[in-house]
Amino acid sequence: MVRLPPRLVVAGTSSGVGKTTVATGLMAALVGRGLTVGAAKVGPDFIDPGYHALATGRPGRNLDAWICGPEAVPALAGRAGAAADVLVVEGVMGLFDGSGDPAGPDASTAEVANLIGAPIVLVVDGAAVGASVAAMVHGFATFDPAVRVAGVILNRVGSDSHEALLRSAVAVTGAPVLGALRRSPDYAWRDRHLGLVPVVEHPHQVRESIDALAAAVARDCDLDAILTVARSAPGTTVPSPPAARRQGSAVVAVAGGPAFSFAYPDNLELLAEAGAELVPFDPLVDPRLPAGATGLYAGGGFPEVFAAGLAANGALLADVRRRVAGGLVTWAECGGLLWLARSLDGHTLAGVLPADGHMTDRLTLGYRRARVRAASPLGPAGTELRGHEFHYSALDPAGDALDWSGRAGAGRSGFATPSLLASYVHLHLGSAPAPAEQFVATCAGPEAARS
């Protein structure tokens, strides 16, 4: 059992109001005060936790009530806040926006805040609003009596007079204004088709932006009042998340670098607990897989941005093709799936999978319930998995390894053999270590993959 530290959730009225800017800047400003800050993100996002990790020097974790289940969220929050003076959680979309799944869970920021007993700091975009901000804040503060909006941070404020107008309007709601950040290009992080550009692609530029943002938050927000909000969260003891049981010893090559930066820390930690030695490699530059690898984990990322560079590394692609054909145990998700395909938009890739990828103008997005139709390294035929898809690409043929369903429909896709599972579905195993155990057990077994 562990005790949750003082904590708060940075929520927004909608997507795009500056939650990541405020949350990351607040984390960095509190670190600048000498505090140890835990960080988490509501939902399945990979990119925002990378900014949190750079700001705090600790893993950026995820609290996803749909994938992991509501009952697991307090334990995962305990892991995110372990040995921290304060835990700052960034919300997803608007405060009450959730999965839209009538079978639940809702998985909204409001639900997660309630599950961990955290007060809300509401971020309001002040760029194009005046006195109407009062109605907005009042609505969010009173919509659900179970949710406690403990304060407001105004973002993208235009001037001193604009700030005074907004503060005066919010005052009638009774919600304290905890800070007001000005519009500034210094805080602008480059966007791409799936959101912010991952930290790994421009770490020095992002570091400079975070430092500037931390200084602005320290100057323009009341950190003492914000810490008082965090300390108002009730003292709560929660169980530790389930650990993986050791399954033997295996060396697992983990794709990384700029093209493959999407991997949940919980997944990697569970693989290590199960007995895997995790050896990172960069598919853009390394000429072959790490020596002695009996497993390959290729998560998501942006192979479409780096397709030419990935295709140019012919030596590694040939090694991967040979090793997987020889029994190398493989788990690939989304970007990793595309990398294992024959091609992506005409660029020749690994050719492990009998399919070709191409980018589209259609976003595929949503939670997925999946059932694996054939035995794979993550479990026998019939294994039930829960995860999330978020991509603009398509694979032809799509494969038939998974029967999946989501809010907007159902389908069949992915590839599976006893030594390989490759699909678009990102899995978070924080509450379900069995697939990690099975993967390591499979890696530890076959001698054919050792070379």
Q: Cα separation of 249 and 442, whole Å?
A: 10
Kindly tell me the burial class for residue 423, based on how many C-beta atoms sit within 10 Å of its own C-beta (0-12, 13-18, 19 or more).
buried
Closest C-alpha to 324, from 298, 346, 359: 298
Q: Cα separation of 12 and 110, whole Å?
A: 11
* 265-273 helix and 434-444 helix, angle to the nearest 10 degrees: 50
Closest C-alpha to 55, from 191, 189, 230: 189
Q: Cα separation of 384 and 400, whole Å?
A: 15
What is the secondary structure of 289-306 as a DSSP string? Answer: PPTT--EEEE-BS-TTTT
Q: Cα separation of 299 and 302, whole Å?
A: 10
* 221 annotated active-site: no
Task: Give residue 63's identity as a one-letter amino acid code.
Answer: L
Given a contact cutoff of 8 angstroms between Cβ atoms, the answer to whether 77 and 238 are in contact is: yes
Closest C-alpha to 117, from 156, 87, 143: 87
- E-strand spans in 64-176? 86-90, 120-125, 149-157
Closest C-alpha to 5, from 29, 54, 39: 39
Q: If phi over 0 gives left and psi between -120 and 50 gives alpha, with beta otherwise, what is residue 345?
A: left
Q: Which of 68, 221, 334, 443 is catalytic?
A: 334
Dihedral angle computed from the Cα positions of residues 158, 160, 161 and 164, in that order, rounded to the nearest 10 degrees = 110
For residue 392, how many other CB atoms are within 10 A of its CB? 15
* Tokens of residue 18, six digits: 């500056």
Q: Cα separation of 223 and 26, whole Å?
A: 8
Q: Which residues are catalytic?
A: 334
